[in-house]
A and B are shown apart, each in its own frame.
Chain A
């Protein structure tokens, strides 16, 4: 399987923040969730991928080509949804259609209008009357209407209610039915992608924590529940992170090392919280 997105040693330094030597790859036909707390560097990474800002070091390849050298051509095949909604409030979806026809050579008006219908968005109303969910769906409709093979989305579900989030998830799953389509999306609502993402890339304070198959992640890690005394007897270094309270300890562990103990399933959110906020043994 080829990689549609390959990032190697990506580095970008600001005054108070460094995105430090990030590497990962997104195989064609899959969904990758990009998670991390606010300020971890998710949006910086996405802006670097889209060549909106300049990198200091490292390589970014999209469809096997350098993202800077072939910028304009590559953008034709990428559907982008950014956190802020970028369309002026006085436009209508119909206006946007006119506009996009000139931007994307592959713009498909019919597909766009079909998506508007599918998402129950009016064609002729100004964007100022749109709710946040409607604006997000409009952005996604645009991203899906020029035959993009790769969707890159920054927090597409944040600030949206569970119903709209679920609808958006359906859209992604539909998109991925074509084996040549891939999705890279950042989010901090990990439950949205817990099941559908094939891979999870986790960054924390500008550093890569892991890139893993979601499945493996959920199988490998678990939450150990034990008493304080029991915890004190554990071999040092056997748990990855722990959180203590007065009545016991919860610890993030590799399941296979703790057979015979009470180990609960861990969600992606729990894994993320333990790694960011838990203590090391």
Chain B
């Protein structure tokens, strides 16, 4: 599993970790039941504070992506991945709905809209 921390992204470190672990869970790279590195180990390897990794894990737990068993470690939830994907999809739809509404108001065409989405999509890849 790869986690890449960027100083220039402007995103708080814990959000970067959350985003990347989520992506690995949704894509199936991390399987349900699989153990995650301990918070302390992750902090050591990434050279960041334990509080940061702890915050990331707590947030992932709150959102149901992982479960933490005291003294044993953190594991990818056995949750239905379909469900999680469904939730994400709904979130994306919500945002797009707002975006389209704003675009219509400003007279931005569907083609332009699609181009914008494509640009953002490619940006996110690296």
Contacts and interface: CB of A to CB of B under 8 A. Distances in A.
Contacts of A213: 49, 51
A131 B14 CA distance: 39
Interface string A163-203: 00000010001101101000000000000000111110000
A219 B7 CA distance: 12
B13 interface: yes
A265 B13 CA distance: 12
B49 A196 contact: yes
Classify the secondary structure of B's interface with A.
helix
Nearest to A33: B49
A11 interface: no
A67 interface: no
Q: Which 4 A-B pairs have the closest CB atoms?
A: A173-B44, A198-B51, A198-B49, A195-B48
Interface residues of A, number: 20
Contacts of A31: 49-50
A66 interface: no
Contacts of A30: 49-51
A179 B41 CA distance: 11
Given A177-B40, A196-B48, 12 more contacts: A31-B49, A169-B47, A173-B43, A176-B40, A176-B44, A195-B48, A196-B43, A196-B49, A199-B51, A214-B49, A215-B55, A265-B7
A215 B47 contact: no
A29 interface: yes
Contact of B12 (A177, A199, A215): A215
A219 B52 CA distance: 12
A169 B13 CA distance: 19
B47 A179 contact: no
B37 to A, nearest CB: 12
B10 interface: yes
A29 B49 contact: no
Contacts, number: 46
Nearest to A166: B47
Contacts of B10: 265
Contacts of B50: 29-31, 176, 198
A236 B55 CA distance: 35
B47 A196 contact: yes
B13 A215 contact: yes
A241 B6 CA distance: 28
Interface string A212-243: 01110011000000000000000000000000
Contacts of B51: 30, 198-199, 213-215
Contacts of B13: 195, 215
Interface string B47-74: 1111110010000000000000000000
Contacts of B47: 169, 173, 195-196
Nearest to A31: B49
Contacts of A265: 7, 10
Contact of A177 (B44, B48, B49, B52): B44
A197 B49 contact: yes
Interface in B1-44: 7, 10, 12-14, 40-41, 43-44
